[in-house]
Structure formats: C-alpha cells, structure tokens
Amino acid sequence: MDWLHTSASCFPNDPALSWGGEVVTYAALQAAADGVAADLAASGVAPGDRVALWGEGTPAAVAALWGIPRAGAVAVLLSPRLPPTTVMQLAEATGVRAVWGRGPGLDLPRSRRRYRLPPPGRGGPPDPEARFVVFTSGTSGGGRPVVLTGANLAAAAAASQARLGNGRGDRWLCVLPLYHVGGLSILWRSAREGGEVVLEPSFEAGGAADLLASGRIAFASLVPTMLRRILEQCPGPFPGVRGVLVGGGPSDPGLLEAARRVGLPALQTYGMTETASQVATEAPDEAGRRPGSAGRPLDGFEVRAVGDSGRVQPPEVEGRLEVRGPAVSPGYLGEAERSQEAWHRTGDSGWLDADGYLFVAGRADAVIVTGGENVHPEEVEAVLREYPGVADARVFGEPDPEWGRRVVAEIASTGQLDLAGLEAFARSRLASHQVPKRWRVVDSLARSEMGKPLLPEQSKGPPG
C-alpha cells in the first residue's frame, strides 16, 4: 500500500496539494495517479519497464510520480529544462520504454472507468520494490543516475519525521524542482503524514517570502541563495513556520542566524540524492546551538570521516565523509548494486565532534591546494558575503606557476563596491593562503536551480 493510497483512504477530502490557487484533494490526486497507471498499462508498459517523467512541477507531474510505480514501472526523472534532443539521448542511455509528459492540470478522465490494480507486489512507496531513478546535480552540469527504492524512501521519510515532527495538515512549501531529490522528498514526507504540499512552479523570492509570512506554512526547504533572497524581500515576522531546511551546500552560520533573528527557524541540513535526501538535520529545539553544524545524523544513518590512509578519523579531524543505512541507495543505474552494509563514499569533506554532531566543510573535489595549503571555497565565500555591497560570491582555483593553484574570487555586487576594502576585510578574517589572489566583479553569478555555482571554464582544470 502506498502513502498516497493510505492518506486518500483515511482523509480523502484533505488537501494534498495547492498550486497556483488550485487545491487538489487526496481523493483527486489518488484518482489521477490511478489514471496514469491505467494509461501506461494500456500503452503496453509492463512491470519493470522504465518510464521517463519529463515535465514541469505541476499537479499532473505529482500524479505521474505516484502513478508510474503503480503501473510497476521505474520512474526516470528528467529536467523539464532539457531540450528534446537531450531527453531522447538520456532516454536511450537509461533504457526508457516511454516518456510521460502532460500539461499543468490533472487531466482527470471524464468517464468513470475502473482502473486496473497495480501488479501484485508492486506499487508506490513505501513498497520496497518501487524504483525511481534520480540524477545527481553538480556544479558543472550532468549527473549520475541514482536508483532509489521504496525501502530507501520509507526509511528516509520516517527518519525525517522523527527529527522534524511534521504531521497531518502541515503545509510544506516546495520551491525546489521535482526532478531533484530535494523536491521529491517533500512529496513523500507530506503524503506519509497526510500533509499538504504548497507547490510553486519555480522560485520567486517575493512570492516565497509572502507565503512564509502568511502564517499558513509550517515547513519549507530552501538552498542558501533562496534564503538570502527571501530575507532581502521580507524582514519578517514569519508566524507559524516551525522549520526551514537549508541545504544543497554548506550554509553560512551568519545567514542562518539572521533568519532566526527575524523569526524564520532555519535548520541546517545535509544530504544527497544517494541518501534519498537528508542525512543529518538540526533539530528544531537545537537550531544554532552549534554554529556550522548540520546536527546529528538522523535515525538509521551512520556517518564517519575517513582519512587518506583509509582509517576512520577521530572527533574533530576532517576526512572524506562516508554514510550507510537503509535510506542509502543501492547504487547507480547500470552498475553493480551496493549492499546495505557497505559504506557510501560521498564527495564531501567534514568531521564529527565528540558529541556526534556533523560538520561539512564542502566538496572534497573543490578544495584548492595553493602553496601546499588546502582552501575550502565555501569558507571563503561565506566571509566575503558578509561585506557590505556583496550580493554573492564564488571562489575557485586556477593554475598558477608559483603556487600551483591560486584562489580566485568572483563577486556580484549590489551597487558600488569598495574592492580594496573587501580585500582588507578578507585579510582580517581569513588566513593568508585563503585570501583571493585575483578578484573579479561581475553583474551576477550563474547558479543551478539547487543553488550550486556553475563554474567558469577556467576553473575546471585538475586540482594542483
């Protein structure tokens, strides 16, 4: 039995979604998902076939996310921003049998036809046999196709609820794309508890700020750039908001504290596609107690930091982060499956303190080695953003004959910027090897929908 079916049976008239002024009840979403499953079966899709979902974040797409696994098929999620030629290439590469795409409405059939039941033993989450393929997001485009099972989703949603306490009727603002695990996980968490997803077609700072200030939103999921822009639009208060998960990369503790001061309870979180979203999240009653920490790992997760020698690092010592647990993916499409007991080696560096709180330093492959010293770009960026007139900052490395790699900063300003003052500020707050050796002021910085920087071509060389 899947979560949508359960919630539709228990409280059919409760809202499952709101989108553009339209409210979709659990009963309506249930019928639409059954319609998707029936249409796929009628078109010849068989259990185990892969079906790509290529559509915007709409109620129709949500219905398909539930309906595709109800037909026994594997849902392969593709960005609606991809051109048709790329979609077809990805569909061929991932062995897709059909591509599902519908308009924004639910497209409910007018007739009262009876839908066939899902194949025995197959259905939507938390059916352990359900499968989704979700591509990872990166800083330079592309991604790897991660397989997520119904068992992964069940473990992830249960662990999240235990940490956050979301329940029936809670409204969760979703401004993250549904083809990323950050947006998908909101759908699963909410349906499991009978909550309502406030689905926005895209992120718009003013609209998101208005919703958070309306008193109607209990939870939200944002990346740091989104949070910063919301605070620029609205000084608060934000009544009724119980938690705002801020992830997609290391968050500036100053930004999180600024949000908390105006009544927006920002909770630093750490996760990835391979873990069905969250690995660690600050508990609402512990927010800000350990600046820079993403909180303790959620129930069921084990996290460790491993050094270059392969040994587990002691508390407070940085290493490559590894995770394991029932929410961790069995692997990537087309590759050998990973056992549940195996550790997943992430692309991130960090450490745990003596009390088990997790601190994420940043992407291990983004570390700039300059003159034999390691520089984490995220740490430098957080300092630069504190300077008046800096709207955004991006730090990367480029080849240098003397240092091997030199630190470069691109700065987007809000107007006139005292670059000499910014450099002096950086020198007062950073170690000498962390201070950028080249500065560049730009109109804006390109970021992905998940807030990750899109690096310029000159930054893509191998690390020194």
Q: What is the pLDDT of residues 280-291, one digit of tens each?
A: 999 999 999 999
Q: Peptide bond preceding 237: is omega within 30 degrees of 0, i.e. cis? A: yes
Lowest mean pLDDT of 199-208, 299-308, 369-378, name the range.
369-378
In tens, the pLDDT along 61-94 reads: 999 999 999 989 999 999 888 888 888 888 899 9
DSSP string, 200-215: -SS--HHHHHHHHHTT
Domains along the chain with CATH numbers: 3-360 (3.40.50.12780), 367-459 (3.30.300.30)
pLDDT at position 462 is: 29
pLDDT at position 138 is: 52
Residue 110: band (very low, low, confident or very high) from pLDDT cuts 50, 70, 90: very low
Question: Which pTM was predicted?
Answer: 0.83
Strand ranges in 165-208 using DSSP code E only, listed in sequence order:
171-174, 196-199
Asked whether 153 and 134 are in contact (CB, 8 A), the reply is no
DSSP string, 255-294: HHHHHHHTT--EEEEEEEGGGTEEEEE--GGGTTSSTTB-
Percent of the chain residues topping a pLDDT of 90: 60
What is the distance between the alpha carbons of residues 81 and 89, in angstroms, rounded to a whole number? 14
Element (H, E) at 429: helix 419-429
Residue 56: band (very low, low, confident or very high) from pLDDT cuts 50, 70, 90: confident
Average pLDDT over the chain, rounded to an integer: 88
pLDDT above 50 (res 121): no
Residue 448: band (very low, low, confident or very high) from pLDDT cuts 50, 70, 90: low
What one-character DSSP code corresponds to residue 16? Answer: E
pLDDT at position 460 is: 38
Q: Peptide bond preceding 126: is omega within 30 degrees of 0, i.e. cis? A: yes
Mean per-residue pLDDT, 436-457 = 75
pLDDT above 70 (res 105): no
pLDDT at position 449 is: 64
pLDDT at position 109 is: 41
pLDDT at position 112 is: 36
Residue 5: band (very low, low, confident or very high) from pLDDT cuts 50, 70, 90: very high
pLDDT top residue among 82 and 240: 240
Phi, psi of 40 (to 5 degrees): -65, -40
pLDDT at position 415 is: 80
